[in-house]
Structure 1
Amino acid sequence: MPSKIRKLTLTADHIARIHKVVQDQGLTPGAELHTDADYDSWVEQMIRTHPASTTPTRLFAYGSLIWKPEIEHVGEQLGIARGWHRSFCFRMTRFRGTPEQPGLMMALDRGGQCQGLLYDLPNDNLESQFGKLFRREFTYKPANSMPRWITVETASGAIPALTFVMNRASALYAGRQSLEAVADVLARACGHWGTGAEYL
């Protein structure tokens, strides 16, 4: 007879039990970082492929960009991205994990749906806004979290929006895992930014 799953509330006490001081080991040996020219190329590509350049540009936020957008925006509304879902599919060997005990971070992966927040961006400085966003969202080559135009459903209809999706070709793509496997990783992982439990 299968055992019953116990419900557990994650508290500050639980998080404190696994916290430890971890020194930042720096860049992975051999890692290649994006250059200013690389970021400029990404910005040019995303502006060139803008699906609705005569309307306000929207950014679909589904994670840390919701509570820490760090960009100018002139409006916001709720939206649902169908065909994409939040997933602990981004393996972290730095920040909230180490090479010896990798952590997991959420990213947007294919399938399902995801509710998030749409930010209206001012169109007069998109190059600057995109450059700032891209430098925040991806640093290593190849990009782990890639910019992409998607369609988001809102109360007023379907709207194109820029978002960041997991690069399945990345060596840090963890794929789909069971809830138990994700919980086990988050309960153990800790990096110089803190623990996986704290991130959760």
Structure 2
Amino acid sequence: MNTVFAPEPALASAPAPSNFRLLTEAERLASLQSAMARWQPDQDVWVYGYGSLIWRPEFDYTEKRLALLHGYHRALCLWSRVNRGTPDRPGLVFGLDTGGSCRGMAFRIPAHQVPASMEALWKREMPSGAYLPRWINCRTEQGTITALVFAINRHTDAYVRGLSTDHLAQIVRNAHGSYGPCVEYVLETANALRQCNIQDKRLQALVRHLQQH
């Protein structure tokens, strides 16, 4: 497998640094309130992880399950200009893009910890509005659950597709942000998936490329 996606050169360049804008505190709070509008104080919440949430959830949970999500696939489709890159040299992080399916991990947050956990999760996942929080059914061995899912916002300038494996590897190797090197993020995610017996052929192809060059 030579490419992660079919090349699409028009979408291969990072957006200009001047286009980058963080959400205001009011915007982020409004997003959180909208997503949690139907939540009741006695309800536990499931959160679906497909990238760094699998190996660094940063919230307490009472249960975790392997979960299959239909309609989306894991992809390095989001420019990272803070955590794993800079505005001048952005890295790439995973998003859930439309189409296909994705195997990940669902975490159950107990009801009494939901408010604090969601506030912290929004600060982590929603600094720029590049994700769309959605409630989506996921299949687990114990039955279907409804989980909070952070899908990619295709209408943000941070969204990218059409990068060859060579181009992905070049970006990943050279980017570094406040959370550390982009390559560390990609390899940690690949290792976490391997430990969970989750197969991701596109990611495995990229990891082989990173290790061989």
Residue 197 of structure 1 and its aligned partner are, at CA, apart by 2.4
> Which residue among 24, 33, 47 is the counterpart of 1:44?
33
Is 1:177 paired with 2:166?
no
RMSD value, Cα: 2.7
Is 1:146 paired with 2:132?
yes
Determine the C-alpha separation between the residues in 1 that align with 2:29 and 2:89.
Answer: 34
* 1:57-136 alignment runs, 5 A limit: 57-136=45-124
Higher helix share: 2
Q: Look up the SS of the partner of 1:43 in the other structure.
A: helix
Distance 1:70 1:198, change over 3 A: closer
Is 1:190 paired with 2:190?
no
Q: Look up the SS of the partner of 2:96 in the other structure.
A: strand
Deviations 1:106-154 (A, max 9, x none): 11111121111111111234222211110111213xx012321111111
Determine the C-alpha separation between the residues in 2 that align with 1:132 and 1:39.
Answer: 11
Q: How many residues align?
A: 172
Residue 29 of structure 1 and its aligned partner are, at CA, apart by 5.5
| Residue of structure 2 equivalent to 1:137 | 125
**Residue identity in the other structure for 2:183:** A
Task: Indicate if the aligned counterparts of 1:89 and 1:106 stay in contact, CA closer than 8 A.
Answer: yes
Structure number with greater Rg is: 1
Q: Which runs of 5+ in 2 are unaligned?
A: 3-16, 187-213
Provide the TM-score with structure 2 as the length reference. Answer: 0.69
Distance 1:114 1:35, change over 3 A: same
| Residue of structure 2 equivalent to 1:19 | none
Distance 1:111 1:121, change over 3 A: same
Determine the C-alpha separation between the residues in 1 that align with 2:89 and 2:63.
Answer: 40
Distance 1:42 1:190, change over 3 A: closer
**Residue identity in the other structure for 2:100:** G
Distance 1:98 1:131, change over 3 A: closer
Task: Indicate if the aligned counterparts of 1:39 and 1:131 stay in contact, CA closer than 8 A.
Answer: no
Is 1:199 paired with 2:202?
no
Distance 1:128 1:189, change over 3 A: closer
Distance 1:181 1:32, change over 3 A: closer
